[in-house]
Amino acid sequence: MAYQTINPFNNEVLKSYENISDEKLEQMLADSHALYKKWRGGPIDERKEILHKIAELMRAEKTQLATVMTKEMGKLIAESEAEVELCANIADYFADQAEEFLKPTPLVTDAGDAYYEKQALGVLFMVEPWNFPYYQIMRVFAPNFMIGNPMMLKHASITPSSAEAFVEIVRRAGAPESSLTNLFIDYDQVDQTIADKRVIGVALTGSERSGASVAKNAGENLKKSSLELGGNDPFIILDDADMNKVKKIAPSARISNAGQTCTASKRFIVMADKYEAFLEMLKEAFSQVKLGDPMNRDTTLAPLSSPDAKKNLQKQVDEAVASGAKVYYGNEPVDLPGQFFQPTILIDIKRDNPMFDQEMFGPVATVYKVNSEVEAIDLANDSSYGLGSVIFSEDLEHAKQVASQLETGMTFINQAWTSLPELPFGGVKNSGYGREMAEIGFDAFVNEHLVLTAKR
Ligand code: NAP
């Protein structure tokens, strides 16, 4: 595949990159493995300083770094800046927490003195998507850099410049060569890398298609894997929801990042008595978006990331409509050269509609009317996915009880989905397995090494 930076706002080809040879890949693997051996069992103080330095550089160069992402995959410049800021926060968090997370854990046993300690495992491979080009890398990079697992990165073919910019910041912060190696490789080389005996595991964020392929290969090679896949997240508006709060949150919960977020609220499940008012409110908000250059700070809805992204989304909307869904708002062509998609609201999606159980990756909201809370929970759980969910209710204890009944990895009550370094991120069912961020994410690729000393 070709690694190319093409601005989705105006389709200008900004940069192309050459794939690397198998020989070069072999050298990079050898160098990464050598670094693992050098780091193994050693102190972490220097890496802590470097990780803080990475955070400092990211904050200092926020707008330049953000511009790389915006020109490459189209997100609004303010969203890109917020992503850089989040990356800096993740770096600081793991730099500060690593010592505590790495402390040996004493074990209670009559057999003697026992504890387990968390050790590095070796070279970790990550395969990442384009929708959060820096954040996805940082979720894996920051904890594993502190653990001492050197990393190799295969980024999406449409975000190579973001990958290069990230690696460059790591290098300039003083990290040893091979701490993070960017690979311009094809899928066969992805398979080779996973199979290589120096690689101990693979962390993938992406679609079910790539997740299944990478996990199958990892399984065949007895390698650990973690999968952060797609979602079709429900946004449940209960009887006692404060609709003023819903109004402030719901539109952006769907259309921020041009709707291309795994945890975006994609299915709005609304009690019958609030259904019409909610639809009107969402339509009003969607009709006010300003499409345009994502570098312009007045623009409120960015283009999609690529021509393929737009084509696929249009196909899904067409199929939904052909199978009985109604367009409540939107789905009109946008008269701009970039990959723009008008915010769209679909209703009357029945369970036999093929789009009922598919992720739509763009600014398309589906809205469902329900007559009871039981029906809302049942509908929310009737999905192949199980990533995140949102509940709006003024009875917080009750909302928590509803959360307990949802088959998702995360629930956000009276607020939009979010991601913070100290909160574990991940899903169940076809949304994947494993968690990133927080201590759970830190532990994803460590050897929990038991040490038992016999009694004298
Ligand atoms: P994708 O097509 O699966 O691509 C993700 C990564 O996998 C890219 O680097 C891609 O490389 C690579 N890839 C694709 N097929 C592969 C294969 N057969 N073998 C090896 N590598 C392969 O996903 P995407 O469209 O870029 O990203 C959007 C998806 O990611 C959505 O479903 C979204 O919900 C999900 N996502 C999940 C999370 C989460 O934390 N759960 C976060 C963000 C996004 P190429 O670009 O070269 O094809």
pLDDT tens string 224-241: 999 999 999 999 999 999
How many angstroms is it from 116 CA to the middle of ligand 1?
A: 35
Q: Where in the chain is the domain with CATH 3.40.605.10?
A: 3-229+431-454
| Token pair recorded at residue 1 | 């595949």
Return the DSSP state at 155.
Answer: -
Residue of minimum CA distance from atom 37 in ligand 1 = 229
Ligand 1: which residue has its CA nearest to atom 39?
228
Distance from residue 211's CA to the centre of ligand 1 (Å):
7
Q: Which of 4, 210, 383 to mutate to test the pocket of ligand 1 (most atoms within 8 A of CB)?
A: 210
Catalogue the long-range contacts made by 38-43 (C-beta closer than 8 Å, 24 or more residues apart): 38/176, 39/120, 39/148, 39/150, 40/119, 40/120, 40/148, 41/119, 42/148
Q: At 240, phi and psi to the nearest 5? A: -100, 20
Q: Among this protein's residues, is 23 annotated catalytic?
A: no
Q: What is the mean pLDDT of the chain?
A: 98
Q: What's the rounded Cα separation, in Å, for the pair 235 and 258? A: 18
* Catalytic residue chosen out of the listed positions 128, 228, 359, 436: 228
The residue whose C-alpha atom lies closest to atom 19 belonging to ligand 1 is 187
Q: Given its phi and psi angles, is residue 176 left (phi above 0), alpha (psi -120 to 50 degrees) or beta?
A: beta
Alpha carbon 422 to its chain's center = 15
Average confidence (pLDDT) over 336-348: 98
Cβ-in-10-Å burial (0-12, 13-18, 19+) of 347 comes to middle
Q: Are 244 and 397 in contact (CB under 8 A)?
A: no
Residue 362 pLDDT level (bands cut at 50, 70, 90): very high
pLDDT tens for each residue of 73-87 = 999 999 999 999 999
pLDDT at 36: 98
409: pLDDT strictly greater than 90: yes
Residue nearest to ligand 1 atom 10, measured at CA: 156
Helix (H, G, I), strand (E, B) or coil at 248: helix
Which of 261, 262, 267, 435 to probe ligand 1 with, by most ligand atoms within 8 A of CB? 262
- What was the pLDDT predicted at 173? 98
Residue nearest to atom 15 of ligand 1 (CA): 210
DSSP state of 354: G
Q: Determine the distance separating the centroid of ligand 1 and the alpha carbon of 59, expressed in angstroms.
A: 27
Instruction: Name which CATH class applies to 233-420.
Output: alpha beta
Bridge partners (DSSP) of residue 12 are 7
Contact 399, 414 (CB under 8 A): yes
Q: Which residues contact 48 (CB under 8 A, 6 or more apart)?
A: 95, 96, 98, 99, 146
DSSP β-ladder status, 105-107 and 447-454: unpaired
pLDDT of residue 456: 84
Which among 18, 13, 6 is positioned nearest to 186, based on CA atoms? 18
User: What contacts 456, CB < 8 A, 6 or more positions away?
Assistant: none
Cα–Cα distances in angstroms (integers) from residue 322 to residues 279, 315, 343, 352, 367, in the given order:
21, 10, 19, 12, 17
> Is-contact 204 127, C-beta < 8 A?
yes
pLDDT tens digits, one per residue of 415-437: 999 999 999 999 999 999 999 99
**Centre of ligand 1 from the C-alpha of residue 186, in Å:** 14
Residue 248 has pLDDT above 70, yes or no: yes
Please count the CA atoms within 13 angstroms of the CA of 148 that sit on its side-chain side.
21
Pick the catalytic residue from 79, 83, 262, 436: 262
Q: How far is the CA of 297 from the centre of ligand 1 (A)?
A: 28
Q: Return the H-helix or E-strand segment holding 212.
A: helix 208-220
Task: Give the number of other CB atoms < 10 A from CB of residue 429.
Answer: 17
**What residue ranges line ligand 1, CB within 6 angstroms?**
1, 127-131, 154-157, 187, 190, 205-207, 209-210, 213-214, 228-231, 262, 359, 361, 387, 425, 427, 431-432
Q: What is the pLDDT of residue 1?
A: 61
The model's pTM is 0.98
The verdict on whether 228 is a catalytic residue reads yes
Compute the distance from residue 190 Cα to the ligand 1 centre, in Å: 13
User: How far separated are the first and last CA of the chain, in Å rounded?
Assistant: 62
pLDDT over 70 (residue 343):
yes
Record the tokens describing residue 265, joined without a space. Answer: 């609220």
> Which CATH superfamily is 3-229+431-454 part of?
Aldehyde Dehydrogenase; Chain A, domain 1 (3.40.605.10)
Nearest CA to ligand 1 atom 28: 206
Sign for the pseudo-dihedral over CA of 265, 94, 91, 218 = negative
Atom of ligand 1 nearest to the CA of 186: 47
Mean pLDDT for 275-300 is: 98
* pLDDT tens for each residue of 186-217: 999 999 999 999 999 999 999 999 999 999 99
The number of angstroms, rounded, from the C-alpha of 396 to the middle of its chain's C-alpha atoms is: 27
Backbone angles phi, psi at 113, to 5 degrees: -90, 120
Give kind and range of the element (H or E) at residue 329: strand 326-329
User: Which residue intervals of the chain bear CATH 3.40.309.10?
Assistant: 233-420
